[in-house]
Structure 1
Amino acid sequence: MINREYEAWVRDFEAERERRATVGDPAWTRGAALDPALVRSLQRFQVGEDGDGSALIGKAERAGDPVYAAAVRLFVAEEQNHARMLALLLTAGGAGTLSGHWSDAVFVRLRRLLGLRVELLVLMVAEVVALRYYRAVRDGAPDPLTAEVAGRILADEERHVPFHCRRLREGLSPLPAPVRRCATAAWRALLAGAAVVVAADHGPALRHLGVGRREFTADVIRSSGPLAGAMRTGPGRSPAPAPDESSPVGA
């Protein structure tokens, strides 16, 4: 069944793709001065952004809405572009990329456990953590190229979160209200745990960026309430707007 609301998301993703092509890449040749702690942190996030998204695309296609599946393919392309830019940023700073990291492996396994709803709930954990992380890099990195790359990625993530919220609201709406509340409470708990792990694992980089571990964790947890509400709101209400209606949900 086709949900026409996703046509607005497809238009948004396509418009952003055209805008990126017009603007072009950052000036990689100017190089980047990267603190060693930030290099290690960016390498781990680059691994998380990299991937073909085949599992998510397959589940979206099996959901039976070709317009939504088209939007998902465009979303995956944006995530792949993030991985590409982070790799080029690391190269500009004289560093390489990692072949893998345990944190990414855990998230991938969790996402593939069940169907589309579970995949998106786990993906939303990574997206919400990424909102706060890239905001920290954009605002705290002393290197201009690093701040620019983080700002570009952050702008995309701020569009991705309401996109996934919209689909999760649709996916959870057939469930009884108590079940929806339990599902989003479990999601908030998983997000809080992930925020603690990321804050601990990336603590030196966050400190370099002027953000403490506790501040990072508290900010991520604080952002989870409105997002959980957007996911579990029943039919007939739309707290997570389509991209052409108002500003996106952010951290």
Structure 2
Amino acid sequence: MTVDTGDFTAWLRDFEGAALLRDTWGDPDWGRGARLEPALVRSLQRFQVGEDGDGGSLTAKADQAGDRVYAETIRLFVAEEREHARLLGRLLEAGGAETIPGHWTDAAFVRLRRMLGLRTELMVLMLAEVVALAYYRAVRDGVRDPLAAEVAGRILADELRHVPFHRDRLRRSFEGCSRPSRTAVAALWWLLLAGAVTVVALDHGHALRGVGASRTAFAREVVTAFGGVVADVTRP
């Protein structure tokens, strides 16, 4: 089914510009090594798994939406996510640690994302994006290792663009929906967010404390960011 995704040319140019900027910057100086606390290593390993998907389901659904520009932009988004996985993998290597093949939280998240169509996949993906904002900001601002701070800062800069990109597409997808439908979707979305932030806060709590962020402060930041997204997406 063809869906009107609107004009995403500006977003396409934005992602192309970000790719050019990354090429200009080059990689961090991996040779300086990294000193990572064990709790942070375990946490980064799990986030690395989450960033390392092939994006096949998302790109296929974007193709089916019938907007070539949007589909091309989604491919650049997927490439950025895979770049995040590469950066995290190199950071772990610099810290003397390995990546892991998988984690149950990522497997559950992927299954949930792929259940229905493009809108559902983007709504579930948005949960990960707002969680990532709070997580990478906490690592960037609180970790003592300069290399880890640089990697987290680079990823955070991308995530700050990903949230409004997906928000714009989701907002268009709700045009024409009734107020009761929007209210019901928002309630379910909040329920999913509550589950996601609880799992992440518990699973990564030791790492968050190690960079000076409490579970409560982390959850509060996620909820605040998500509240703005829900309001923008579901407003009439």
Q: Deviations over 1:188-242 (max 9, x none)?
A: 22112211110100011011011111111122112221110111133xxxxxxxx
User: Does residue 177 of structure 2 align to residue 152 of structure 1?
Assistant: no
Deviates more, 1:39-48 or 1:205-214: 205-214
Runs of 5+ consecutive residues of structure 2 not aligned to the other structure: none
State the secondary structure of the residue aligned to 1:100. coil
Residue aligning to 1:122: 124
Percent identity of the aligned residues?
60
Contact 1:192–1:220, Cα closer than 8 Å, also in 2: no
State the secondary structure of the residue aligned to 2:75. helix
State the secondary structure of the residue aligned to 1:189. helix
CA distance in 1, matches of 2:183, 2:52: 32
Map 1:41-190 → 2, pairs under 5 A: 41-190=43-192
State the secondary structure of the residue aligned to 1:5. coil
The Cα of 1:4 is off from its aligned counterpart by: 5.7
Contact 1:188–1:221, Cα closer than 8 Å, also in 2: no
Opposite residue 23 of structure 1, the aligned amino acid is W
Normalised by the size of structure 2, how large is the TM-score? Answer: 0.96
Q: Deviations over 1:5-36 (max 9, x none)?
A: 30000000000000000111100111000000
Opposite residue 146 of structure 1, the aligned amino acid is A
Deviates more, 1:158-167 or 1:176-185: 176-185
CA distance in 2, matches of 1:173, 1:221: 24
Runs of 5+ consecutive residues of structure 1 not aligned to the other structure: 235-251
Contact 2:34–2:91, Cα closer than 8 Å, also in 1: yes
CA distance in 2, matches of 1:178, 1:3: 23
CA distance in 1, matches of 2:172, 2:218: 30
Map 1:218-237 → 2, pairs under 5 A: 218-234=220-236
Q: Work out the number of aligned pairs and report it.
A: 234
Opposite residue 9 of structure 1, the aligned amino acid is W
Q: Deviations over 1:149-187 (max 9, x none)?
A: 000000000000000000101111221121112212211
Match 1:211 to one of 199, 213, 223:
213
CA distance in 1, matches of 2:77, 2:232: 20
CA distance in 2, matches of 1:116, 1:46: 24
| Superposition CA RMSD, Å | 1.1
